[in-house]
Amino acid sequence: MAIILRLDRMMADRKISLNELSEKVGISNVNLSNLKTGKVKAIRFSTLNAICEVLECQPGDILEYKNDKEID
């Protein structure tokens, strides 16, 4: 099982920088960068809620499930 984060895609679509998003969401640049690059094991619902609010998107726009067999 693999959950893939598509935060970078949504940020590009919304033309918002890492610094701007981290300010509006209220988390550090480092933590947001780790989210963006998929280097995290978990995300708080409150953080996901804030990101979706700022980017005006749904959680499914940011998170994608891929079966292990699909990832090669």
For residue 8, what are the contacts with CB-CB under 8 A and spacing of at least 6? 36, 37
Question: Can you point out the beta strands (E) in the chain?
Answer: 2-5, 63-66
Predicted TM-score (pTM) of the model is 0.86
Domain definitions of the chain by residue range: 2-66
Indicate the pLDDT class of residue 69, thresholds 50, 70 and 90.
confident
Report the pLDDT value the prediction gives residue 23, as an integer from 0 to 100. Answer: 96
Q: How far, in Å, CA of 10 to CA of 27, rounded? A: 17
Mapped onto helix, strand or coil, the DSSP state of residue 13 is helix
Summarize pLDDT for 15-45 with one digit per residue, the tens.
Answer: 999 999 999 999 999 999 999 988 998 999 9
- Do the Cβ atoms of 48 and 59 come closer than 8 Å? yes
Percent of the chain residues past pLDDT 90, beyond the cut? 76
Segment 34-59 shows an average pLDDT of: 94
Mapped onto helix, strand or coil, the DSSP state of residue 21 is helix
CATH of domain 2-66: 1.10.260.40
